[in-house]
Structure 1
């Protein structure tokens, strides 16, 4: 069965997210650990978390994905900005222990002109500082579109980060369809070739989750603007091919398209139907 969901709001708590997921036909979901444009995080209510875990058990949910806030830049040229990222991510991983054996996704950041090599060194240093042997969360590097000085546009850049992390079993990759298409990986005309390239450089065993998005921009634009499925330059046929691909179809997929819950429900229905007939 396809493991598919979308990004849900934490405003009403964990149990509410679980109920929203069920209502739209999802069996996974993604959520922000805290304000995506700030740093404040709500106190965790253990009873609320337990209600979510119960919903997940009773409805055969796959792995869920927590997303770090957008404000973090682990490879900034400013030490206080890097320290802020370290503090938030370390706290997030402690909070994730309430939801063990799931995933925590973050954007690698922007080197702001220092160069990719220096940026990667800072990211690796941060990860080696915060990752712990006894943590029960896998941390995921997200593939990026490459706008500005973003790190993570190429599989080679992600590989350099992965190779530098000492606790390699605690780190992996989340692939974003809009991001890699905008970055120059042609999943429309050569999905198998892109997956082979990923496997040869990083290894498909390090791919843990996928963000499903169409793109408002043309191929290799390096812009990163998500679109509803079938409304952008990637197209619905490619997304259907991707979610049903034998090398990917066991992974959790999360929609980040510009939708409300009803819109997500319709996209989930379309993708589920495609899995049933493929």
Structure 2
């Protein structure tokens, strides 16, 4: 089972890997730069190599980088759109240079310009950014559908992927809180939701899971993460998700409102529900 959480790399990548080990994790997610700004630090390549040694020695799964929240590739505003493209392009190259397998981002908002317009803006941007020579895969995150968010349903995700020339380098990161809030009933019909995903997008495109409980009700279109087992999804749902044959080999990344000690407890809880450990 590949299970971890979001960790800060502000004090170094090796320290983040050690922090993951300390809480029983064997994967982790990190921001590609300041999550609410545009600043970033250049990689310390010696530190990156030390991190990779820790990963190899402890059989880690794939790391996941997360783009900053400020990006909006669906925007009609030239400055916002241009900044989003610049940041994603810079970070995609940097992450590819150090062989980070996955890089996820929120697709964007059309801000009243209609869904088709926003999707076209996103695909145009990705076609500028992806050269076809990369090894890092860009993952579109499934969204809750608040406001004019794009990626609120599988059809929108598919339409984005289909518009990208090098679509083999684009996949999906499924957020459990988001899709439940978007109207996919993974509590009562997980298999049905996965069948729909497979029919619309294809399960081969699903590369990572953001494992989050939800503070809000089904179909609310709100994004409010809760600790595992303390929200509207409930423990049984997470037991079903992590043991579902189509999902159980994927990496799971917690984004729950917890400090490291809380994530450690969640990881232990999930491992105890994972069939390999029972």
- Could you say whether these structures have the same fold, taking a TM-score greater than 0.5 normalized by the shorter chain as the test? yes
Q: Does residue 194 of structure 2 align to residue 189 of structure 1?
A: no
User: How many pairs are equivalent?
Assistant: 277
Do the aligned residues in 1 keep the contact of 2:64 with 2:100 (CA within 8 Å)? no
**Alpha-carbon separation, structure 1, partners of 2:277 and 2:21:** 22
Deviation at 1:97, TM superposition (A): 2.4
2:126 match: 127
Moved over 2 A (4+): none
**Residues 114-154 of structure 1: CA deviation (Å, up to 9, x unaligned):** 00000000000000000022211000000000000000000
Q: Does residue 61 of structure 2 align to residue 62 of structure 1?
A: yes
1:161 match: 160
2:113 match: 114
2:91 match: 92
**SS, match of residue 140 in structure 1:** strand
**Alpha-carbon separation, structure 2, partners of 1:240 and 1:24:** 20
**Residues 147-198 of structure 1: CA deviation (Å, up to 9, x unaligned):** 0000000000000001001101100000000000000000000000000000
**Alpha-carbon separation, structure 1, partners of 2:130 and 2:100:** 14
1:11 match: 10
Deviation at 1:98, TM superposition (A): 3.7
Do the aligned residues in 1 keep the contact of 2:211 with 2:254 (CA within 8 Å)? yes
1:228 match: 227
**Residues 208-267 of structure 1: CA deviation (Å, up to 9, x unaligned):** 000000000000000110000111101111011101111001111000000000000000
Do the aligned residues in 2 keep the contact of 1:49 with 1:98 (CA within 8 Å)? no
Deviation at 1:99, TM superposition (A): 2.9
**Alpha-carbon separation, structure 2, partners of 1:75 and 1:213:** 25
**Alpha-carbon separation, structure 1, partners of 2:263 and 2:158:** 32
**Alpha-carbon separation, structure 1, partners of 2:245 and 2:253:** 18
**Residues 28-47 of structure 1: CA deviation (Å, up to 9, x unaligned):** 00000111000001111000
Do the aligned residues in 2 keep the contact of 1:46 with 1:98 (CA within 8 Å)? no
Q: Map residues 1-278 of structure 1 onto 2, 5 A cutoff.
A: 2-100=1-99, 102-275=101-274, 276-277=276-277
RMSD: 0.9
Scaled by the length of structure 1, what TM-score is found?
Answer: 0.98
Change (3 A) 1:277 1:47: closer
Scaled by the length of structure 2, what TM-score is found?
Answer: 0.98
Do the aligned residues in 2 keep the contact of 1:216 with 1:227 (CA within 8 Å)? yes
Query: Gapped runs of 5+ residues in structure 2?
Result: none
**Alpha-carbon separation, structure 2, partners of 1:17 and 1:119:** 36
**SS, match of residue 173 in structure 1:** strand
Deviation at 1:277, TM superposition (A): 4.9
Change (3 A) 1:179 1:71: same
**Alpha-carbon separation, structure 2, partners of 1:7 and 1:261:** 9
